[in-house]
Amino acid sequence: MRTVDETRSLKELLPKDEKSEPNRHAALIRQSLTDDAARVTALLNSFSDLDLADQLGRLLHTLSPCDYFGNNS
């Protein structure tokens, strides 16, 4: 879980003089990451319980080389 200092450090990375249009996607993402830090942290922590690497490894193991590179014959 992010500490208050980590969240403060991340906020310092954002440009102070940027004129953000309220409807721009990037502006909305930045606002969410800074204003809703606790919710975003909880969401990201919930993903840590998922074993995506193992699932991806099993998927890649079942695919043939032709699935990666196409059939060049």
Condensed to tens digits (0 to 9), the pLDDT of residues 8-65 reads: 787 777 777 666 566 788 888 888 777 777 887 888 888 777 777 777 778 777 776 6
Instruction: State residue 1's pLDDT score.
Output: 54
- The contacts of residue 65 (CB under 8 Å, 6+ apart) are none
Euclidean distance between CA atoms 17 and 22, whole angstroms? 15
Euclidean distance between CA atoms 4 and 7, whole angstroms? 5
Q: Token digits for 43? A: 């969401």
Total domains, the chain: 1
Instruction: State residue 66's pLDDT score.
Output: 63
Range of the structural domain that residue 21 is part of: 4-69
